[in-house]
Amino acid sequence: MKIDGACHCGKITYEAEVDADGARICHCTDCQTMGGSAFRMVVPSRVDGFRVTSGTPRIYVKIAESGNPRAQAFCPDCGTHIYASPAGDGPKVYNIRTSSVRQRDQIVPQFQGWHRSAQHWLPDLPSIPKVETQ
């Protein structure tokens, strides 16, 4: 599936070819901290199937539990998270943050990773009172 997306301020735009069946939620504690939320969602690109079309994301390299260095890309101006990928050279899959994808309504998470650290209240989400706007 071909997609495209952008950060909030519009400085960074990209296009990608992704495997929508690989779309997932990540409950790892790094995703919780960096996103400031309960979890993040990603959709994996084909190998090297990601291209920045404007702007240059800033890269932060974290060390995963596996010991692998992982590049975390975000917009240096507005802070929108764009993707994660293996650090270094070579062909790679880009895990694109689904929220920045223009076609995000067509991408539904198919599984939930790192569920052992999921926030404990998530099963009760449907019963937390809802307000349509502010």
Partner 1 sequence: MKFDGGCHCGKITFEAEADPEDARICHCTDCQLLSGSAFRTVIPTVEDGFKLLTGEPKVYVKIAESGRRRVQAFCEDCGTHIYATSVEDGPKTYGVRVGTLRQREQIVPRLQLWCRSARPWLDELEAIPKIEKQA
Interface ranges with partner 1 (CB under 8 A): 7-9, 24-26, 30-42, 58, 60, 62, 66, 72, 74, 76-82, 97-100, 108-116, 118-123, 125-126, 128-134
Q: What are phi and psi of 8, to 5 degrees?
A: -65, -40
Torsion, Cα of 115, 98, 65, 28 (10° steps): -30
Cβ closer to partner 1: 53 or 79? 79
Select 2 or 120, whichever has its Cβ closest to partner 1.
120
At closest approach, how far in Å is the CB of 86 from partner 1? 14
CB 71 within 8 A of CB 59: yes
